[in-house]
Homo-oligomer: A and B are copies of this chain.
Amino acid sequence: MSELLEKAERLKTASQTLAMLSAEEKNEALEQIAQTLDRERAFILQENEKDMAQGREQGLSPALLDRLQLTNERLDQIIDGVRQVASLPDPVGEIIAEWTRPNGLRIQTVRVPLGVIGMVYEARPNVTVDAASLCLKTGNAVLLRGSTSALHSNKALVRVMKEALRTTTVPETAIELLEDTSRETAQRMFRLNNYLDVLIPRGGAGLIRSVVENATVPVLETGVGNCHIFVDESAERQMAIEIVLNAKLQRPSVCNAVETVLIHERWPYAADLLETLHARGVELRGDQRLASAYPFISEATEDDWYTEYLAPILAVKLVADVDEAIGHIRRYGTKHSEAIITENEVNVRRFFQAVDAAVLYHNASTRFTDGEQFGYGAEIGISTQKLHARGPMGLVAITTTKSLVYGTGQIRES
């Protein structure tokens, strides 16, 4: 039997045990994982160094090497993360709805684990522990498929977590790492509907597309954010400038950063905003009117309106009104996060109703699209799909429900 099938079988069996554990048992397992990771720092760092050496040899970019590297400080963060997940309320077992039918049947809908989750991710080894702890917390078993470049680190982290579970009621087979990182095996994993209940890709657009295009297992899609801010005619000067700077520059590399700013052509402070952005080092690409009015704005191509720069680059465009802004966002947006800055309540309502996106903002930065910022405690990712979960996903996103029906002999008449 292949490694994939063998581990999938084990996970399926483990998930049946996991589904019946109490919150206390799962939290105790998480605490054991935190303690064992802390105790095994030397081993983990030594194995990570093997990946780093190999990466340097293969000429990985400094950015990729940085993502791959574990340090004592990063281990602190990883261990803190596990304890934080343990401290969150357990969604499993919650009674979501309860009602009685005219024939006396009492129906309860309760929250239960999904079962077995397939996590597909790229270089960062911290995802290995992060994903495992979120899955354990919610009673899910997890198949981890990381990248080849992090294989030593991931093996070490999984070995340490399994060791920790040996002293708990959580079966150590609740966490399995797919060591065969070939493309062919990944493709087989994506179609393992009898074993995996959901796939969660975490990584760049290419990884996500590959999972979505090849999977028959349902996917929780996280994805690109080509986010917009529309600065309306009545926007307050200072507020608009601060929000745009924050949304572009506070962390340009993330999906909730702004990529295009649409400015009402009668907003009086366009020059102030654009000059401030330029002064703060943002490269500006604008429509024809803006490009001819400002020497520091180059003319945007059609591609620019589609681009998620993930860098200090910003597309800017003048629009005639809220409807032109809505039309632009409909055409180029990715349904992630879209903001309007205005003092006009009618335009807020129109924007909120007409724009189809996971999160819409009035007078706030798009950077708040985040599980922590929404108050969910932990974040699985930001869903850009419409089924199951939309926007920031907390623990609830990796659960499902079942209906329990209590009868007294009811049969169906028609």
Q: Looking at A362, A364, A373, A400, which has the most chain B CB atoms within 10 Å of its CB?
A: A364
Count, chain A residues at interface, CB 8 A: 66
Select which of B99, B357, B388, B411 is within 8 A of A367 by beta carbon.
B411
Q: Which of A359, A373, A412 has the most CB of B within 10 A?
A: A412
Cβ of A410 and Cβ of B365 under 8 Å apart?
yes
Known: A216-B213, A412-B250. Contact between A405 and B362, CB under 8 A? yes
Interface string of A366-388 (1 = CB under 8 A from B): 01100001110000000001111
Q: Check A403–B246 contact: CB distance below 8 A.
A: no
**Interchain CB contact under 8 A, A403 and B391:** yes
Q: Scan A91-121; emit 1 where CB is below 8 A from any B CB, else 0.
A: 0000000010100010100001011000000
- Which listed segment binds B: A32-40, A153-161, A348-356? A348-356
Query: B216 near A218 (CB under 8 angstroms)?
Result: no
Which B residues are CB-close (under 8 A) to A365?
407, 410-412
CB distance from A105 to the nearest CB of B (A): 6
Contact indicator B359/A411 (Cβ below 8 Å): no
Interface contact B356-A411, CB-CB below 8 Å: no
Q: Which one of B352, B361, B405 contacts A361 once the chains associate, using CB atoms below 8 Å?
A: B405
Residue ranges of A at the interface with B (Cβ–Cβ < 8 Å): 16, 19-20, 99, 101, 105, 107, 112, 114-115, 193, 197-198, 212-213, 216, 218-220, 236, 238-239, 242-243, 245-247, 250, 330, 352-354, 356-365, 367-368, 373-375, 385-388, 390-391, 400-412
